[in-house]
Amino acid sequence: MLDKNVINVHIHHFEQATTVPEKSVIIVGSGPAGIATAMSIIKMAPALANDMLVLEKARHPRHKPCGGGLTAFADQTLDELGLRKRIAGIAVHKVRFLLGGRPFNFERENLMRIVRRDEFDADLVMQARDAGIEIREDTAVHDLIRREDGIVIESSAGTFKTKVLVGADGANSLVRRKLVRESDTRVSRLLEAVIPLARQDDQNTAIFDFSAMRQNLRGYIWEFPTQVGGKAHLNIGIFDSRIHGGPRANIRKLLSDRLSSHGFSNAETQIEGHPERWFSPRGIYAQPNVLLVGDAAGIEPWLGEGISIALGYGPVAARAIRDAFATQDFSFSGYRDLILTSKLGKLLNRNRRVAGLFYSRPARPFLAAFGRALAIQFDLRKHSSFHLRRQHVL
C-alpha cells in the first residue's frame, strides 16, 4: 500500500502538469488592431503588461490583401501609441476622385502613404515585442469556451485561459462568431490585383474612381502605387460597401475591365478577394469577458478605410480593459458607448452617414456637386494649415 503522503505528492504533480496557462488578457490576432490594443494596454494599464498574450495563426511577415493606404489619422494614432513609422511606404501627394464623370484633384505633400501590409504588420509586431509584449505565432485558435471565471481557448499550441479575450481576428472573426454572435452581417466586398507600373511618374498619385456606381457599385475602384521587390507596381482594387440592398454590381467584371485598360488579363493576374465588416451604432461589440476590435468589430463603409480604423480601436479597448480590472466588472456593458463617444466613434459614425447618403440612388445626380464641395473644403483646410505653419515659423 502506498503511503498517503506519496499519493498526495503524485496528485500535486499531476495537477501541476495539467494546469492551463492563464493570462489576464489574451488578444487573438496580431494585425494593426491587435497590436494597437496591446500597446495601448501597456500605456494605460502597465500592471497588465507582463500578464498579456497575443496569439497569431500565421507567421510574420505574412501575406495580407489590402490597398495599404495610411491616412493622417493612422500616423497620429501610431505616434500616440509610441510606434515608429519605420515602414515609409510610398508618399502620395495627389489624390484624384472621379465623381459624376468629373475628376477632382486634391494636392498636398504627404496626403497619405501606401504600405505593403506584410512589411507594415511585421514591423508593428517587432516593435511590440521590443516593448515586452508576448506574441505567439503559428498558433491557430480552434475553439473558445465560456466559463464562469473567464474564457478557455483551445489552440494549435494547447489550451489557454483568460479573464479578458480581445477579438482582433478580422472580418471573419471566430471570436465574434463563437462568443458575440451578432446576426447582422454588414459585410463589404473587396477584390484586388497588383500589376507592374509602366510609368514611374504615377508613383505619387492615388485614384478613387466612383464611375461604376452607375453599374450598381456602392463603392469605387482604386489605383494605388506600391512597391514589390523594390520595383514600382500598381495596386488596383474594387470596394463594394453593400451599405444598401438592391442589385449587386459584378465586381469581378468591373475589376477585369480596369485591368484590361492597363493591358492585363485575368489569366496573367492574380485577383484576391476579402471581406470587410462595417460599423453600426446599433452593433454588438462586447459580451462578458470579450471585446471586439478592428475588422472584427467594424470599419467605416464610405471609403473602407481599414488600417487607420483598426489602429484607432486600440486605445478605446485598452481603456475598457483598464476600467474592468479596476472595478472587477468584466461585463463590458459600456464598451459600445465608449466607442461611440471616442474620436474613433465619431469618425466611424460620420463616414457611415456619408456612405448612406453618398451611395444611395437619389444622390447619384449630385456627385459632381459633392466633389466641388469637397474640393472647396479641402482648399480651405489647406489654406488654414499653411497660415498656421507660417505663423509658427514667424
Per residue in 104-125, pLDDT (tens digit) is 999 988 899 999 999 999 999 9
Domain presence at residue 392 = no
pLDDT for 347-375, tens place per residue? 999 999 999 999 998 988 888 888 888 88
Following CA atoms 130, 131, 136, 137 in sequence, which dihedral angle do they give, to the nearest 10 degrees? -50
Q: Which of 1-5, 15-19, 28-32, 184-188 has the highest average model confidence (pLDDT)?
A: 28-32
Domain presence at residue 10 = no
pLDDT of residue 228: 86
pLDDT of residue 384: 53
CB of 62 within 8 A of CB of 82?
no
CA distance 176 to 201: 44
CA distance 176 to 182: 7
Residue 393 pLDDT > 50: no
| Cell numbers standing for residue 18 | 495539467
Span 145-160, average pLDDT: 95
- 3-state SS of 11-64? HHHHHHHCCCCEEEEEEECCCHHHHHHHHHHHHHCHHHHHHEEEECCCCCCCCC
Residue 181 pLDDT > 90: no
Span 126-153, average pLDDT: 96
> What is the domain extent for residue 351?
18-387
Residue 148 pLDDT > 80: yes
CA distance 301 to 220: 11
The H helix count followed by the E strand count for the chain is 10, 16
Residue 8 pLDDT > 60: no
Indicate left, alpha or beta for 177 from its phi (over 0: left) and psi (-120 to 50: alpha): alpha
Span 87-97, average pLDDT: 91
Band of the pLDDT at 383, cuts 50, 70, 90? low
- Residue 272 one-letter amino acid: E
Domain presence at residue 6 = no
Domain presence at residue 76 = yes
pLDDT for 203-219, tens place per residue? 789 999 999 999 999 99
Domain presence at residue 3 = no
Domain presence at residue 11 = no
CA distance 293 to 299: 9
Residue 389 pLDDT > 70: no
| Apex 243 CA angle, 241 and 249, nearest 5 | 55
pLDDT for 20-63, tens place per residue? 789 999 999 999 999 999 999 999 999 999 999 999 999 999 98
pLDDT of residue 369: 87
pLDDT of residue 322: 98
pLDDT of residue 394: 42
Band of the pLDDT at 9, cuts 50, 70, 90? very low
- Counting the structural domains of the chain, the total is 1
Domain presence at residue 1 = no
pTM: 0.89
CATH code: domain of residue 102: 3.50.50.60
pLDDT for 253-268, tens place per residue? 999 999 999 999 877 7
pLDDT of residue 202: 63
